[in-house]
Amino acid sequence: MNRRAFLAALSAAALARGANAAFASVAPPRKKVVIVGGGLAGLSCAYELRKYNFDVVLLEGQGRAGGRVQTLREGLYQGLSAETGATRIPDTHELTLSYVREFGLTLEPFRSGDFADVVHLRGKNYVGGHNPEPDWPLQLTAEERRLGRKGLAQRYMAGPLQSLVKGDENSLNVPKAILEQDNATLGDYLKKQGLSPDAIELLTVGGDTTVSAGLLFLVELNEQISRQYFHIAGGNDLLPAALANQLGGAVRYGCKAVSIGQDDGGAWVVIENAEGHETVRGDLLVTTLPFSVSRNLFSDARIPEDKQRAIRELKYFAVDKIFLQMRSQFWKKNGQSGFANTDLLSERFWSLGPEHADQRGLLLSYVIGNKAAKLDQMDMQSRIKQTLADAESVFPGADEHFEGARTKSWGQDPWQLGAFPAFAPGQLSSIPLNARREGRIFFAGEHTSRYNGWMQGAIESAHRVVKEIRA
């Protein structure tokens, strides 16, 4: 109801019943918004809509809130925990940080492993990043050898970021200079810059070069080469737990959406739960489900073909995380940080745990993309065995210190079918389409945000949808 219609209704009712009684009786009915998916996007959307007096119900398929924010504690030594999904918060991610403050959570520093200290190539460890540059076992040109790994990154990967115009850092759209790189794969982009195949390998050890070149620059921009990273003391899952706690009974767990639709009077979702099937109707509906698990949901939803295609075709990275619990952080005593990029199946290692080397810690093997898809074909014991063998090559002593493992495969998680979007060339440009409202159905979730692959993206998308709904 617009303002004029509202005032007309108000005075008509006032005449009929007396002004004092009228105000209460004609206050516009609370709009009911059905939200599907209880990850950070869904939780944030429900929490913010409630601030504006909307009637919300949030339907989550699993028995827990948080989605891709999940902290494992069981099965690990007391005090150790493992983030299977979101791990670090860059100091530039104001939306995530403001929720951390709002819910009184405590931050602790997180040491990042982006430009890993050890590069393990052809069976040997090399330590890069300071002079003299290692004698890489690769066929590099004299100039590539002189530049080294960091120099190559500075020369060949900084271009589109340097041509950003002021304000791009804060814009919610993917900047033009980055979109211009959305027509080629990362591998082709680097080849076009004149880099040799081995220099491309050195630069991208452990990385998938078949994604859109623009994606890499967007990831860099979104981190804004952050100076510092944080982790929530006690576990990142305390953030979705705090939001869910605020929402109380408005969150319904164990409700799997099997179909979403709309008509002229409202929007609905058919859910499957312990009691069978049920249709939950609202005036409006927000879906925050990753497109990977949304492919068959919208046959009754009047969704135009371009959007259906985007939902069908958005690719997601397979990701495996394998946490090896070690009796002590022996690598520190050997002068190793525990962070490494490798040409092995375990393409990336991170070190997690308390400060002191004598205390127990975790070596995390973090595998993204094609190699994760390969790991997914192995049974769990073989994955752990392979990871331990890889850890032993990079951090001698791993075998002897190993106590047990916890694992997570996002590609095999039926609620996710992937970790985050692996935008292929052309797909990065479709973020606004992913985010576009279709009648009474609104789209949130990290895949609809420039900050995709981050908690910030989930929260930003929720704030956007709340604005759209209020408007």
Ligand X SMILES: Cc1cc2nc3c(=O)[nH]c(=O)nc-3n(C[C@H](O)[C@H](O)[C@H](O)COP(=O)(O)OP(=O)(O)OC[C@H]3O[C@@H](n4cnc5c(N)ncnc54)[C@H](O)[C@@H]3O)c2cc1C
Do the beta carbons of residue 51 and residue 33 sit within 8 Å? Answer: no
Residue ranges in 69-140 assigned as alpha helix (H) = 94-102
Please tell me whether residue 409 adopts helix, strand or coil conformation. Answer: strand
Residue 457 binds ligand X (CB under 6 A): yes
Integer Cα distance of 72 and 362 in angstroms: 12
Nearer to ligand X, 339 or 454 (CB): 454
Residue 175 binds ligand X (CB under 6 A): no
- 172 to each of 181, 431, 449, 456, 457, how far by Cα in Å? 18, 10, 8, 12, 10
Q: How far is CA 44 from the centre of its chain?
A: 15
Least distance CB 219 / ligand X (angstroms): 11
Residue 206 binds ligand X (CB under 6 A): no
| Site for ligand X, residues 24 to 43, rule: CB under 6 A | 36-42
Among 118, 257, 285, 301, binds ligand X (CB under 6 A): 257
Nearer to ligand X, 298 or 420 (CB): 420
Residue 289 binds ligand X (CB under 6 A): yes
**Segment lying near ligand X (by CB under 6 A), choices 13-21, 131-139, 209-217, 452-460:** 452-460
Least distance CB 257 / ligand X (angstroms): 4
Least distance CB 457 / ligand X (angstroms): 5
Nearer to ligand X, 408 or 440 (CB): 408
Residue 319 binds ligand X (CB under 6 A): yes
| Site for ligand X, residues 46 to 105, rule: CB under 6 A | 59-62, 67-69, 85-89
* DSSP calls for 41-64: HHHHHHHHHHHTT-EEEEE-SSSS
| CB neighbour burial string for 26-54, b if at least 16 within 10 angstroms, e if fewer | beeeebbbbbbbbbbbbbbbbbbbeeeeb
Among 148, 235, 282, 290, binds ligand X (CB under 6 A): 290
Residue 318 binds ligand X (CB under 6 A): no
Residue 410 binds ligand X (CB under 6 A): yes
Q: Give the total of residues touching ligand X (CB under 6 A).
A: 39
Integer Cα distance of 407 and 411 in angstroms: 12
Nearer to ligand X, 125 or 259 (CB): 259
- Rounded to 5°, angle at Cα 224 from 221 and 227: 160
Least distance CB 195 / ligand X (angstroms): 28
Integer Cα distance of 86 and 458 in angstroms: 11
Least distance CB 412 / ligand X (angstroms): 12
Residue 407 binds ligand X (CB under 6 A): no
Residue 256 binds ligand X (CB under 6 A): yes
- Tell me the residue type at 44: S
Nearer to ligand X, 42 or 187 (CB): 42
The C-alpha torsion from 385 through 390 and 391 to 393, rounded to 10°, is: 130
Q: Residue 138 — φ and ψ, nearest 5°? A: -135, 160
Among 22, 241, 293, 465, binds ligand X (CB under 6 A): 293
Structure tokens at 6: 């509202």
Among 182, 201, 237, 446, binds ligand X (CB under 6 A): 446
Do the beta carbons of residue 359 and residue 329 sit within 8 Å? Answer: yes
Among 33, 118, 458, 466, binds ligand X (CB under 6 A): 458
Query: In the sheet where 348-352 sits, what is the strand order?
Result: 124-127, 118-121, 340-342, 348-352, 361-368, 319-326, 402-409
Integer Cα distance of 268 and 278 in angstroms: 10
Residue 411 binds ligand X (CB under 6 A): no
Residue 455 binds ligand X (CB under 6 A): yes
Please tell me whether residue 182 adopts helix, strand or coil conformation. Answer: coil
Nearer to ligand X, 200 or 238 (CB): 238
Nearer to ligand X, 86 or 205 (CB): 86
* Site residues for ligand X per CB under 6 A: 36-42, 59-62, 67-69, 85-89, 256-257, 288-290, 293, 319, 410, 415-416, 419-420, 445-446, 453-458
